[in-house]
């Protein structure tokens, strides 16, 4: 067998191929008995389980309430309709001028590069988004470039998805080269959960195209719980910083995952220790199938008020909500108690 170096393209694609796709296999790995977990067959059919092994390795064995497990394990409760929860709560369908382009905020354009991810998160607000599973075709990239040329006010492109880092570096570097050539652009942002679930995704090829871009690159990771952050991620973040990338994190406030003062404090502390700054903590979007993760805005503000008593200001993520029709995300102030 040829030894596989763990920062090559072949390594992360192998990790992806070996991801767990069956709840029973996951249960066995975690030494859990089926009766310890909710029925999941119908929910599983609607949105398949997908979870890479490096992420599973950070789950606690024998704990059916593990905060990482809860994010990926299907539960038939998802199939119960709850009024007020819809398939497109952010109204993205109405802000898509061309296939794959979401232009809601004047100076930033979000490009949906692919519909696939390395992990399927049960609470995902794009789980019902009607993107084809395929990545953008060359012609559609042409349209993105054309759109940007027609909108010189746009100075930042956000690659999103799905997960844009599901694309191969050979392709990404080609697309980014075209963006590099647009004088109007100042920043390139990448929204990705991949380096969290498969840290080896941060490989030489990725670092090379990032290093060679004249744009300021901002990588916004997505993690929701301190247990997701380990030494391997910290080492990758340090390589990213060496090539000038700014690394931030956004998370979602989720009932049963991170809706406690301890979980929030721990997440921010561990992110910072790994070289990552907290950026946003989103309140839950009313996505169909996700009602059991929802905590109210009032509760969220109260929780973040208690967190603010403990953390320094620079480790407080902005508690935010996307309200359809607004020109920017709405930041919600933490409610401080008057002692």
User: Residues interacting with ligand SF4, by CB under 6 A?
Assistant: 117, 119-121, 124, 126, 161-163, 193, 222
Q: Which does 203 bind (CB under 5 to 8 A by kind): ligand PLP, ligand SF4, none?
A: none
Q: Which is nearer to ligand PLP, 104 or 201 (CB)?
A: 104
* Dihedral-angle region of residue 282 (phi above 0 means left; psi in -120 to 50 means alpha; beta otherwise): beta
d(CA 203, CA 12): 9
Radius of gyration for the chain, computed over Cα atoms and rounded to the nearest angstrom:
20
229 interface partner picked from ligand SF4, ligand PLP, none, CB below 5 to 8 A per type? none
Please state the closest distance from residue 269 (CB atom) to ligand PLP, in A: 23
Partner interacting with residue 307 (select from ligand SF4, ligand PLP, none; CB below 5-8 Å by kind): none
Nearer to ligand SF4, 43 or 185 (CB): 43
First to last CA, the chain: 65
Site membership for ligand PLP, residue 318 (CB under 6 A): no
Identify what 108 binds: ligand PLP, ligand SF4, none; CB under 5 to 8 Å per kind. Answer: ligand PLP
Out of 19, 158, 185, 252, the only residue in the binding site for ligand PLP (CB under 6 A) is 158
**Partner interacting with residue 158 (select from ligand SF4, ligand PLP, none; CB below 5-8 Å by kind):** ligand PLP
Q: Which residue has the tokens 């995952």?
A: 257
Beta carbon of residue 108, minimum distance to ligand SF4 (angstroms, whole number): 18
124 binding partner (options ligand SF4, ligand PLP, none; Cβ < 5 to 8 Å by kind): ligand SF4
Q: Could you give the CA distance from residue 149 to residue 153 in angstroms, rounded to a whole number?
A: 9
Task: Report d(CA 245, CA 273) in Å as an integer.
Answer: 17
Q: Are strands 156-160 and 108-112 parallel, antiparallel or unpaired?
A: parallel
In the numeric block, which tokens belong to residue 4?
A: 């596989």
Minimum CB distance to ligand SF4, residue 197 (Å):
8
Return the number of the residue (162 or 317) whose C-beta is nearest ligand SF4. Answer: 162
Measured from the CB atom, the residue of 68 and 308 that comes closer to ligand SF4 is 68
Write the DSSP string, 205-268. Answer: HHHHHHHH-SSEEEEEEE--SGGG--HHHHHHHHHHHHTT-EEEEEEE--TTTT-SHHHHHHHH
Spell out the residues 6+ positions from residue 65 whose beta carbon is closer than 8 angstroms to its own: 256
Q: Which of 85, 329, 334, 335 binds ligand PLP (CB under 6 A)?
A: 329
Choose from ligand PLP, ligand SF4, none: what does 105 bind? Cβ within 5-8 Å by kind. Answer: ligand PLP
In the chain, DSSP assigns E strands to: 101-105, 108-112, 156-160, 187-192, 216-222, 246-252, 277-282, 318-321, 330-331
Query: 302 contacts which partner out of ligand PLP, ligand SF4, none, CB within 5 to 8 A by kind?
Result: none
Cα–Cα dist 291/270, whole Å: 28
Least distance (Å) from ligand SF4 to the CB of residue 176?
Answer: 20
- Tokens found for residue 77: 């409760």
Stretch that binds ligand PLP, among 102-110, 127-135, 264-272, 307-315 (CB under 6 A): 102-110
Q: How far is 113 from 100, CA to CA, in rounded Å?
A: 7
102 near ligand PLP (CB under 6 A): yes
Between CA 185 and CA 304 the distance in angstroms is 34
Query: Which positions from 104 to 133 touch ligand PLP by CB under 6 A, shown as an x/- string?
Result: xx--x-x-----------------------
- Residues lying near ligand PLP in the complex (CB under 6 A): 102, 104-105, 108, 110, 158, 322, 329
């Amino acid at each position: 067998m040829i030894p596989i170096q763990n920062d090559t393209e072949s390594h992360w694609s192998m990790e992806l191929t070996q991801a767990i796709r069956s709840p029973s296999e996951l249960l066995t790995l975690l030494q859990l008995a089926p009766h310890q977990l909710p029925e999941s067959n119908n929910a599983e059919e609607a949105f398949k389980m997908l979870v890479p092994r490096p992420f599973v390795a950070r789950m606690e064995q024998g704990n059916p309430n593990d905060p990482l497990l809860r994010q990926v394990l299907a539960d038939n409760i998802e199939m119960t309709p709850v009024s007020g929860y819809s398939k497109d709560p952010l109204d993205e369908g109405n802000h898509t001028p061309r296939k794959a382009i979401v232009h809601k905020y004047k100076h930033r354009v979000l490009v949906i590069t692919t519909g696939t991810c390395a992990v399927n998160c049960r609470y995902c607000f794009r789980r019902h988004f009607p993107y084809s599973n395929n990545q953008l075709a060359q012609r559609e990239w042409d349209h993105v470039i054309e759109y940007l040329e027609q909108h010189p006010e746009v100075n930042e492109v956000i690659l999103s998805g799905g997960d844009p880092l599901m694309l191969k570096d050979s392709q990404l570097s080609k697309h980014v080269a075209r963006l590099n050539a647009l004088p109007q652009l100042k920043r390139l942002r990448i929204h990705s959960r991949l380096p969290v679930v498969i840290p080896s995704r941060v490989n030489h090829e990725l670092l090379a195209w990032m290093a060679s871009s004249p744009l300021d690159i901002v990588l916004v990771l997505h993690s929701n719980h301190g247990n997701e952050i380990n030494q391997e991620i910290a080492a990758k973040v340090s390589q990213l910083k060496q090539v000038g990338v700014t690394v931030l994190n956004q998370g979602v406030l989720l009932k049963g995952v991170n809706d406690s003062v301890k979980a929030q404090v721990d997440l921010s502390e561990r992110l910072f220790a790994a070289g990552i700054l907290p950026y946003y903590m989103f309140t839950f979007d009313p996505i169909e199938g996700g009602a059991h993760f929802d905590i109210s805005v009032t509760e969220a503000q109260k929780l973040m008020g208690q967190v603010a008593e403990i953390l320094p200001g620079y480790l407080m993520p902005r508690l935010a909500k996307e309200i359809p029709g607004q020109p920017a995300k709405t930041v919600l102030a933490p409610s401080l108690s008057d002692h």
